[in-house]
Structure 1
Amino acid sequence: MDILTLVGLVAGVLVVILAMLANATLLTFLNLPGLAIVLGGTFAVTLIKFRLSSLMSAIRLASRAAFMDRVERPDELIREVGLLSMVVRKEGILGLENHTTDNVFLQKAINLCVDGHSPELVEEALHHEIQQCSERHEVAERVFRGIGESAPAIGMLGTLVGLVQMLNTLDDPSSIGPAMAIALLTTLYGAFIAQLIALPLADKLQLKAEDEMRNQLLIATSIQKILQGENPRVMTELLSSFLNPEQRDSLKREQGG
């Protein structure tokens, strides 16, 4: 579980709530018509921009990427594929038949190799999988960025609605308060949804997508080298380009380099 995402979300909400409670109660900031305008309007605009299936897929992907899925460190993957390379050099490609891994993409690559497919077909299948995964993450990111763009705009529409209502009822002082509440709180709701939920999730999806693509490219490259019969030490050196300087130095020290 990605605990930092949960900590950041909870901390952001708590900061806003504590600020609200400084000189008022939460009920002061609850306005059902304004909330309906922002939530309903944002949902409607999102459905106009995207298919419902894309929206549901984005929500599922965001919940996994932000809170549950753990992206493996590239140095851990390099160690694992290095072991696979040594097994293949000793026992042949069928030596991988009993190897299991938690990485779904790596397991798929192993299965393709064990099934006896040509290196060209294995490479094509892996790159197709990388492309499809990247497109799914891109659509999910666009959905949340769309929500982040729409919520403040709908909030501003709610503000205009509230101002119009207030100007039309200036002769009735009792109606000015509710109309002003809609005018101000819809902007607050829109900014809250965009800045504390939608846009941070979009950025998290982008980061997770970049990390996952890097790992998938690392795996695809390593499988190509294994099928070519590359020396494990040389392969590890080539794959070190996927690491940051600290991870690269740590891997060299492990190998006695």
Structure 2
Amino acid sequence: MIFGNSDVLGKFGQLFDPLIFGVVLGCVLVMAWIQNGKSSFGLAFAALPHCGREPFAESGENATFMCRRIDFMLREQGFVGLEQLHSEDPFITRMIGELVNAKDAKTFEEWARLQCNIAKKKQDLAASFWSAASEIAPAIGLIGTIIGLIQLFATGIDPLKMGPAMSLTLLTSLYGMFISHIIAFPIHMRLKARAEILNTYRAALAEHMIAVAKRELVKLTPVHFSPAKPLRAAH
């Protein structure tokens, strides 16, 4: 049997209620936000435009390549040449600029490790938000279904009219499963894979630049002068 466009739209209309879907989705996002902290919401949605792309798919950039470029520039042009290096990752470009202007190795090492830790937490937090959403969504859908069933039986509805009411109540479970398995979990997996690539790349570059700083930068220490002894008059 071939259905017309009106039949397809009618079937779809029975399965999609914008209000119920919005309520379920809103509850899922709020609970994921509460679970992961106030900064997680912005990070989770800011990461969405990049979740479908590998970080260095087009350029083929990798840690070994960048380490060799850094060593080559140091050998050929010294620290000044490092200013010409740019990475596909803005974080690494900023770290190279900090290395060029670093005063001593210890200060740079502390800064680099701190920034790597902050960047790693941001990457992991975005993936963790969507992981939490995928775990919470089925529970939110089930809670909505249970609440609907309680209200349904409490009102003493006519058994002949119970079918449509039951179908509307069960939509919350459907939306919970849809949000979990079709939306949140695939996003979580993509962001998790991307985070692993970026965190590994950044950690390798950071360790290499810390080694360069320890080798090339000399920590300046204060120079102590002993007072000159007064000259004795010749007799």
- TM-score of the two chains, using structure 2 as the length reference: 0.74
| Per-residue deviation, residues 80-121 of structure 1 (Å, max 9, x unmatched) | 331321221233222223333333232223212221432222
Change (3 A) 1:213 1:32: closer
Whether 1:66 aligns to 2:51 is yes
Q: 1:172 is matched with which residue: 152, 158, 168?
A: 158
Matches for 1:40-79 after TM superposition, within 5 Å? 40-61=26-47, 63-67=48-52, 70-71=55-56, 76-79=62-65
Q: Match for residue 219 of structure 1? A: 205
- State the alpha-carbon separation in 2 of the partners of residues 107 and 217 from structure 1: 14
Matches for 1:1-257 after TM superposition, within 5 Å? 25-32=11-18, 34-61=20-47, 63-67=48-52, 70-71=55-56, 76-169=62-155, 171-173=157-159, 175-227=161-213
| Per-residue deviation, residues 136-178 of structure 1 (Å, max 9, x unmatched) | 1222223222221221111101211232243345551454133
Count of aligned pairs: 209
Structure with the higher helix share, 1 or 2: 1
More displaced, 189-198 or 87-96? 87-96
- State the alpha-carbon separation in 2 of the partners of residues 154 and 220 from structure 1: 42
Contact (CA 8 Å) 1:144, 1:199: kept in 2 or not? yes
RMSD over aligned CA atoms reads 3.0
Give 1:50 shift.
4.6
Contact (CA 8 Å) 2:141, 2:176: kept in 1 or not? yes
- State the alpha-carbon separation in 2 of the partners of residues 41 and 109 from structure 1: 39
Contact (CA 8 Å) 2:25, 2:179: kept in 1 or not? no
Structure 2: 5+ residue stretches without partners: 1-6, 217-235
Contact (CA 8 Å) 2:32, 2:130: kept in 1 or not? no
Change (3 A) 1:60 1:170: same
Structure 2 SS opposite 1:139: helix
Contact (CA 8 Å) 2:36, 2:128: kept in 1 or not? no
- State the alpha-carbon separation in 2 of the partners of residues 149 and 160 from structure 1: 18
Change (3 A) 1:222 1:74: farther
Structure 1: 5+ residue stretches without partners: 1-20, 231-257
Change (3 A) 1:221 1:169: same
Identity value in percent: 25
- TM-score of the two chains, using structure 1 as the length reference: 0.69
